[in-house]
Structures are given as C-alpha cells and as structure tokens.
Structure 1
Amino acid sequence: MSSPQLTSVIPYIHILLTRDFYVVLPAVLICYILYQHLFHPLARIPGPFLASLTNWWYVRATRTETWHRIVVSLHEKYGPIVRIAPNQVSVGAPKAVRQIYPVSSTAFPKSDWYSVFRGTRRVDLFAGQDQWAHGRHRKMVVRAYAMDTLKDLEPYVDYCLELLVEQLDGRVGQKVDMAKRVHLFSFDVIGEITWSANFGFLTAGVDDGTFETIRTMGRSGSWLGHVPYVFRMHELLKPYIGNWLDRPAIRKSRGKKDLINRFFDAHEKNPEEFTYTDVISMGATQVSAGSDTTAVSIRAIIYYVLRNPSVKAKLVAEIDEARRKGELSNPIKHEEAAKLKYLQAVVSESLRVHPAMAVNLPRVVPSGGANIEGHYLPGGTVVGMSAWVVHKDKEVYGEDAHAFRPERWLERDTTDMNRCLLTFGAGSRACLGRNMAAQQMSKVIPTLFLNYDMELADPEKGWRIECLLFVAQYDMDVAIERRQDYPS
C-alpha cells in the first residue's frame, strides 16, 4: 500500500477504534458467553461461571495450592460431574473409573496437560501421550518393576532403613520433623534402587536443594498443563534464555541389579527404539516422581496412625505378636510385612484418605464421544477424576467415608474399594512403580513402630499441606523414644 493510500485509510481506522471497536468487542464477548452457556456441548454440565469461559479459572484454582479441597467442594455443590474449564469436566462417580481409565483399551488417551511434563523427551511412561509408543516402551522396562524384582532391590531399601534407624537413635528424647526425615529417606532409597548409590541426604540431615527444584517444577507444571501454549512459547524462547535444567551423566555399572542397569538392558536389546537418552529420562523420572509420591504416602500413614490411638494400639499389637512368633525380622522383610493384615489395612486406608496425586489425571474423550453420568461428551472433551473425590464416595467406602478407619478393609470384600483407589492411577496407565512404593511402606512403617514409641509432639497442631502436583505435607513434629517393651 502506497503512502497516500495509507494516509487515506487512517481516519477510518481511527473511527473504528474510537467508536465501532467498543461496540463490536462487547458484542463478541456477549455472543461468546451465550454460546458457552446455551449452545456449547457442555453447557448443561454445572460448574463455576468463570470456569465455563476460560481455562484461567482452573489455573487460578490450582495456584491457590488447595485444589484437593476445591475439587471436593465443587462436587459436593454441583454433583458427580462438574465443568471445570470450557472443554473439561471433572467426574466424581466411581462407576466411571473403568470407562475413563480402562485396563486394556486405549480409548481415552492422555490429554495435552501431560505434554508440559514430557517436554522434548521421547520416552516418558508418565507423560507420554502416544498410546502405541507407551505400550512398546512399557513392555521394554516392565520387568524392572515386576514383583520378583523387589527381592533384588530389597537390600537397597534395607540399607537406607538402617540409616534412618541410626539417625533416629541419635534423636531419641527429642522432637523430629518426621515429614522431612521421611522425604530424605525416600529420596535416598530411590537413589539406591535406581543407581546403587544414595544421595547422602539421610546422613547429612538435609538435601542439596533438589527438593526445592522439584517443588518448583511441580508448582509450574501443575498449572502450565492447563495452558500448554504458554509452555510452548517458553520452549521457543529457550535458545535465547538457555536451559537451566542439567541432565546427569549416567552409565551402566557392572554386576548391579538396580533399575538403571535394567533400563540399559532394555536399551541394549532395542538401541534405536529405547535410546541412551531414554535411559536418562527414565532414571530422572524415577527419582523425581518416585521419591515424592512415596514420601507423601509414608507421612500420611504415620500421621493418621498417631492421630488415632486405637489404630496405633492395634497396629503395634499385631507387629509385636508377629515378632514374638519369630515371623518378623528387623528390619522387616517385605514378604513378612505383606502377611500383617492390619498393617496392610492401615496402608490402604492412608492411601485412600490422603492420596499423593493432586491432579485430576486428565484424559481425552475419543472421536465417537461418550456418555458419562447421563451427559453426552463429544470427542475431544477433556475428562478426569480426582482421587480426593472418588475416595470419599459413600457407596463404595461406606457412610463414614470421610473418616480414617482401617477396619473397613477387613470387614468386607475389597474388590470395588481397590478398583476405585486412584492413588497410583488406574487402568493401562497406572504407575509402574506402585510395587516399589508398597514395598517401602510395608517395610518402614512396622520397623518404626517396632523400635520406637512415637507421639505427635503437639496433637493440637496439624501438619502443613502444600497442594501442587502432589499433596505434600510439612512440619510434622514427632516425639520419639526407644521402646522399653521391645519384643525379643
């Protein structure tokens, strides 16, 4: 356009901006609001007004670090299905678990929320969205997570457990921040079973800044997943601002049975499909995700047992009786702990009452659409379920579903309760490391209650909870004493 032509257009642009622009913009906004509330396929699904208009309502809700409570209140107010974003719903009905998270079908793939966590990594068993690729990669490494592998890994757990007991022995008669101590333990265990070398956090009593780095990543990822285009813009700018995340150098060691060596075995069998970079990615994911989820679960078990004296008495009695019968070692073996029925009930109840995951585990409705809770959801709709909601369902867990009561796992058939337990996800994409987490929980809890008498230092004071990617607990002071009635 020539300069004279441009000059002749300027007055019209001025008129548009000063008059028509302010008429057109409100009209467009009104039409958008009317569409979202009257004509959008999800218009009849109840939920917060702003949530129907923008994903940023969901972003703000997650950034309050109380999403685990917000999502429960939403379902209490609106019912079993709630619209939490323009194209996303939260489902709280347990019967939808198998539909949204099927065991064998790949009908509901993971949503774009996971792309933020995957980044540029080709292999990520948690965040990978390609169902076919996930199935292939899962088959390559599944043996590393099998139940019989736990026997090879147990000595690594025992080593860290002995370190934990040694540290606690030095603090008998004092207050111990058990939330912090458990985190140090879980991180060192992951280091041992992954690389045959712990991080030295238990011995030092502090971490090296890694915990804060992981928290920062969780804080960012938990909300960026709802607006992934912001993350992609950051990726485009990365050549100019640099990459502040360094990848560790990892190599195979000889004669070890840790996870990294098992990942390398998969790499050597399929070097093109499971590359060296994929080995690094698997190791890093194992450390960051495995340590936090296990720490959250162990903290929950200790906390709820100490807050319920009758539960503590039953648990200690079961542990002592097994010890007197010669059925428990010290430290306790996983196969021994698996036979302690009340202990396993306590573990299951703690995972139910305080699941580690904060997010709704979002999936995408397939192209043909789906009927969920009486509503037709068109293909492309994002749908997810929160463990914090499902675990409180009274039809599945009883009228006292809001209470901590391990006995519920011993009173009746637990098939439905276990099916709806979303602590480690569900279906074909359930967490591969759940057996390892169960092993750690089953060993550390009875070992602690066998050797120590523990009480909350201030029963009136609750712990501090931070809901990011995980619902982590902090400031859990426990008074510990060596047991004088230790069963020989």
Structure 2
Amino acid sequence: MLVDHSLAILYILAFFFAILYIYSHAASPLRSIQGPFLARFSRLWYFSAVSSGRFETINASLHAKYGKIVRLAPNQYSISDPSAIQTIYKTRHGETPFRKSDFYSAWQAPNKPNIFTERDPVAHTRDRKKFHAAYTMSTMTTYEKYVDDCVEILCRRMEEVQQSGKEVDMSWWLQCFAFDVIGEISFSKRFGFLDRGEDQSGLIENVHRTTKYSVLMGMFPEWHVFYFNTLQLLGKLGFGKGAGKQYLRDFTFRSMGERQKKVKKERDVTTTAEDDNYMPKDFMTKFIEQHQRDPTHFTLDDTINGVLGNINAGSDTTGVALSAIMYYLLASPRVLQRLRDELSQQQVSDPTTFKEVQSLEYLQAVIKEAMRLHPSIGVQLPRVVPKGGAIITGQFFPGETIVGLNPYVLHHDKDVFGGDADAFRPERWLRSECDAATLARMENTWCPFGAGSRTCIGKNVSLLEMSKLVPQLVRRFDFEMSDGLEREGLKTYNEFFIQIRNLRLKVVKRRLEV
C-alpha cells in the first residue's frame, strides 16, 4: 500500500509540474521564439551543441533557419542583430546595465571574482579602473622590447624548421609565441615555450582543459561549487592533472616574491632607456608598485589576478588570431603580395615599431579582416535582462532572461559586411575603398574582444603582438601549405576559443627586401 501511495504522489507531482510548465510556456511573451525542439525543455541541448566543438557554425545555421532571435535553452536566447550590441553590451549613462550571467561564475574559484568574471557592474567598474592604466594604447610602447625578443626567437625557430625541410604545426608555435610574450610582459621571464618547443609542465594543456570545463560548467553554474571542490580534493589526493596549474601558481608566486624585493631595493633608483641596465617595467612591477603605494586599494589579490588574467586570456586570444591571419594570407596570394608591397614602400624598420605599424593601413585591415572571419571567441557572451525587461530586436524580453550575441555570427552578417561576408577581403576596411557609413557600421559590429564596458582589457596587448609579428614573418619567410590543409581547408575545434587544428606549413626563407 505504501508503494502504491508513493507512486500516486509522484504521478500527481509530475502532472502538476507538467501543467505548470504548459501554463507558464503558454503565458510567456517568448513562447513564439523558435529554436531546437529540445531547447524548450532543458539546457542539455545547448550543452551538447557547445561540447561538439562546432557551436559557431551550429549557431550560425540556427539563425539562418529561424531568424535574428533563436532559443538556446528554456530561458536563454541568441541574438544576431548588430543593433542589439548597443542595448545588451553598451549601456548608456543612466540606464540599468545588463549584468553578466552566472555562466561566468564557472570561470573563477568560488566567491573569488576577477575583472573577467565579476557579475556586479558597479564592482567591475571599480576594479577595472585599478588596472586600466597598464593596458592603455599609449603604454604599449613600454612592452615593445619584450615582444621584439620573442619575435626574434620565433624567427630563429622558423629558420631551423626551414633548414630541416619538415612541415611545422604553425598554430602550436604561434601559441608558444603568445604564451612567452605574456610571460615576458608580465614577469620579464619567458615560460620557455619558444626555447624548447614544448608545453612547460602541461601549462597550455591545463589552460585549455580549464577553459573547456568553464564553458561547459557555465551552463549549469549551480553545480560549479560542488564540482570545483571535488576536483580540488582529488588533486590534493594525487588524482587528476594539476601539474600545469601548479606550475603556473608556483611560477607566479616565485616571480612575485623576487620582484617585491627588487622593487623595494630599487625604489629610489631612476633609470632611463639610454642606460645599459634599463629594462621596461613589466605588469608585475607596475602592479606591485601600485600595491606598495596603497595596499588597501590595490591588494595582493589584485596583483595576482592581474598577471594570471593576462596568461589565462591573453595567450589563446592572440594565438588563435595569429593562426587565422597566417592562414588567410597564405590562402590569398594577392593579399599577401599587397601587404609585402606596403611594408616595402613604407620602408618600415627591422624590427618594426608599434608606431610604424599603426600607420600601416593595409596591415591593420588584414588583421581586422582575419579576426572578423575567424574571431577567437565562438560562443555566446551571455547577459541578464535587467528588472523591468527590455525590447531587443523588436521583441520584449522579461527581466532575468538570458540573452547574448556570438561574435562569429555577427561577423558573417551579410547585411553589414556585404554579399561577400564569407570571403577574406581586407579592402573592405580601407577608407579609400569603403564609404563612411558602411565602415562605421562594420566597426560597430566587429567585436572579437567583446563589446562595451566588458571589452577585453588586454585587447591592446594582443594587437601589439599581432602588429609586430606578422610583418616580420611575411618579410623574412615564405610559407607553403601542407597538402592536407590546401585540400581540406581549416579544421577547428571550438572550446570557447575557436582553436585551429591543422595549420601545417613548410617554411622557406626569403631574402629581405631593401
């Protein structure tokens, strides 16, 4: 009898929740929004689509089928309308901002937000101001020496590959370059990837594994604390792969201890760029000096979060972008030749300076176009509609609805970029070949670093690296695609960053043009 009563209660509860769901769905102002059938009932469809590694193309095909608004989960919607960027990400003064969704909680240790994961807009604005001065475009020249050193080492590695006659996985070496530059500008120390061509203590593997965990767990953020603590416990017991994370943590704390002593010792010693022992200040030095000036305002945690944020975000963003640039240049001989002509005609120095490359219009157009076709990020950047709701693309969304845009989808919008939006054509960004209104619309839609107040704080560092490395590679080397790459095109895997898997090239040294 007890079993019969229990089953009856379960049936009643199931019936009750089914009726409740049907009623809430029928009464919802969003009931007419289309999408995959299973997305109406569970987040599992979205989880499965992202875990496939092809979400950028899945997302684009959904919008091609259903229009500018698509359902991804019971309370989550993808928007493909460029005009929605202003509403969702670029809140005007006096308007209630769309806060980041709890998706971002899975990118941090529980209750330890940083400027990437902080969901409170007020707290984020306060914390971002602490770091802003270190990332401005005007300060980029202070990091040039670090970038130049890594550019030269990468070029030596390419000379070795050329002499061997073997193919090279260029994506790997460009990721090594991005990691070592971040190490240099953050600590004045390379991690050693370019020196050895190996993943130091599994650091790159760990960063990729953490990224994949974060993007998938971010869809079920209510489970993050439990899984995080479980993984931490297993790590302490010797299970799991924590070598890369431990290596990074130890490297950071060891470097910080050494730097604190050095900053304290040399506080009263002033050097200039003309001095033999001059070294530009890296991020850690700048952060430690801020901490020593005002420990309550700029805490020790701020120092650690600042340098770790550089590593976790900066390496993949730049590595992916550089791989895309190299692929599209090699796939477009006309574009490559025009870029080489510009470098020759402008007589830029060797190595190029950041001031010079900023004035190279075609180089900047190449970088921008490659990042348009292949943005580093290929998933939705979710935000929460504020209390009271909002109208987006003509549709009213109630408060607490999750909405967002995918840079990959936006960057292939033919209404913005023209009928050839899927083609690599840097000329579309040249003022001499595009009318002002069209160019402004493209600029407002281009968002490989995010948009609004949450734009990646390290954007200028990434642009510095790309602007200085690409000219050196195309001036000093010829590259040939492997047969597989030329025949099949790019193969990618989207784990939040759209990683390129098959950029295999042969390297042929070329004579520098005078």
Normalization by structure 2: what TM-score? 0.88
Report what 1:102 is aligned to. 90
Report what 2:198 is aligned to. 206
Displacement, 1:277? 2.1
- 1:70 aligned to 2:95? no
Displacement, 1:103? 5.5
Opposite residue 280 of structure 1, the aligned amino acid is: I
Displacement, 1:424? 0.2
Report what 1:190 is aligned to. 182
Opposite residue 139 of structure 2, the aligned amino acid is: T
CA contact (8 A) 1:177 1:477 kept: yes
Structure 2 SS opposite 1:481 = strand
- 1:454 aligned to 2:485? no
- 1:339 aligned to 2:343? no
CA contact (8 A) 1:137 1:274 kept: no
Superposed counterparts of 1:36-115, under 5 Å: 37-102=25-90, 104-105=92-93, 107-115=97-105
Superposed counterparts of 1:404-415, under 5 Å: 404-410=424-430, 411-412=433-434, 413=436, 414-415=439-440
CA contact (8 A) 1:36 1:53 kept: no
Displacement, 1:42? 2.2
Displacement, 1:482? 1.3
Structure 1 SS opposite 2:70 = strand
How many angstroms apart in 1 are the aligned matches of 2:13 and 2:221?
Answer: 26
CA contact (8 A) 1:221 1:469 kept: no
CA contact (8 A) 1:37 1:52 kept: no
- 1:16 aligned to 2:43? no
Displacement, 1:21? 4.7
Opposite residue 16 of structure 1, the aligned amino acid is: H
How many angstroms apart in 2 are the aligned matches of 1:174 and 1:67?
Answer: 33
Structure 2: give runs of 5+ residues left out of the alignment.
237-241, 267-279
- 1:180 aligned to 2:172? yes
Report what 2:464 is aligned to. 439
- 1:418 aligned to 2:418? no
CA contact (8 A) 2:91 2:98 kept: no
Of residues 417, 437, 443 in structure 2, which corresponds to 1:397?
A: 417
- 1:215 aligned to 2:208? yes
How many angstroms apart in 2 are the aligned matches of 1:96 and 1:162?
Answer: 43
Opposite residue 513 of structure 2, the aligned amino acid is: P
How many angstroms apart in 2 are the aligned matches of 1:270 and 1:35?
Answer: 56
**Structure 1 pair 178–241 and aligned structure 2 pair: CA distance change class (3 A):** closer
How many angstroms apart in 2 are the aligned matches of 1:129 and 1:267?
Answer: 24
Q: 1:133-177: CA deviations, max 9, x gaps?
A: 211111111110011211110000000001011111112143221
Q: 1:16-50: CA deviations, max 9, x gaps?
A: 234x2564355246425524642234212111111
How many angstroms apart in 1 are the aligned matches of 2:354 and 2:312?
Answer: 23
Structure 1 SS opposite 2:487 = coil
Deviates more, 1:452-461 or 1:109-118: 452-461
Report what 2:313 is aligned to. 289
How many angstroms apart in 2 are the aligned matches of 1:38 and 1:141?
Answer: 47
- 1:350 aligned to 2:360? no
Opposite residue 86 of structure 1, the aligned amino acid is: P
Structure 1 SS opposite 2:78 = strand
Opposite residue 416 of structure 2, the aligned amino acid is: V
**Structure 1 pair 143–239 and aligned structure 2 pair: CA distance change class (3 A):** closer
CA contact (8 A) 1:68 1:358 kept: yes
Opposite residue 78 of structure 1, the aligned amino acid is: Y
**Structure 1 pair 152–383 and aligned structure 2 pair: CA distance change class (3 A):** same
How many angstroms apart in 2 are the aligned matches of 1:429 and 1:198?
Answer: 28
Of residues 384, 387, 397 in structure 2, which corresponds to 1:367?
A: 387
Structure 1: give runs of 5+ residues left out of the alignment.
1-10
Q: 1:209-244: CA deviations, max 9, x gaps?
A: 111111111111111101011112224546754565
Structure 2 SS opposite 1:466 = strand
Displacement, 1:284? 1.1
- 1:464 aligned to 2:457? no
Displacement, 1:270? 3.5
Report what 1:4 is aligned to. none
Q: 1:110-132: CA deviations, max 9, x gaps?
A: 11111111223645111111211
Superposed counterparts of 1:231-380, under 5 Å: 231-235=224-228, 237=230, 240-241=233-234, 244=242, 245-246=245-246, 247-248=249-250, 249=253, 250-251=256-257, 252=259, 253-254=262-263, 257-323=281-347, 328-380=348-400
Opposite residue 225 of structure 2, the aligned amino acid is: R
Structure 1 SS opposite 2:321 = helix
Opposite residue 369 of structure 2, the aligned amino acid is: E
Q: 1:255-285: CA deviations, max 9, x gaps?
A: 6500111222332344224321221122112
Deviates more, 1:52-61 or 1:192-201: 52-61
CA contact (8 A) 1:363 1:384 kept: yes
- Superposition CA RMSD, Å: 1.9
Of residues 222, 227, 231 in structure 2, which corresponds to 1:229?
A: 222
Deviates more, 1:53-62 or 1:234-243: 234-243
Displacement, 1:399? 1.5
CA contact (8 A) 2:80 2:405 kept: yes
Q: 1:292-331: CA deviations, max 9, x gaps?
A: 10000000000011111211121122122223xxxx1112
**Structure 1 pair 443–383 and aligned structure 2 pair: CA distance change class (3 A):** same
CA contact (8 A) 1:51 1:58 kept: yes
**Structure 1 pair 39–62 and aligned structure 2 pair: CA distance change class (3 A):** same
CA contact (8 A) 1:94 1:390 kept: yes
How many angstroms apart in 2 are the aligned matches of 1:364 and 1:299?
Answer: 33
- 1:481 aligned to 2:508? yes
Structure 2 SS opposite 1:342 = helix
CA contact (8 A) 1:121 1:278 kept: no
Opposite residue 3 of structure 2, the aligned amino acid is: H
Structure 1: 4+ residue segments shifted above 6 A: none
How many angstroms apart in 1 are the aligned matches of 2:309 and 2:232?
Answer: 24
Of residues 153, 176, 198 in structure 2, which corresponds to 1:163?
A: 153
Opposite residue 62 of structure 1, the aligned amino acid is: V
CA contact (8 A) 1:123 1:281 kept: no
Report what 1:119 is aligned to. 109
Corresponding residue pairs, total: 471
Identity of aligned residues (%): 37
CA contact (8 A) 2:131 2:306 kept: no
**Structure 1 pair 103–14 and aligned structure 2 pair: CA distance change class (3 A):** closer
Displacement, 1:451? 0.7
Deviates more, 1:147-156 or 1:116-125: 116-125
CA contact (8 A) 1:318 1:340 kept: yes
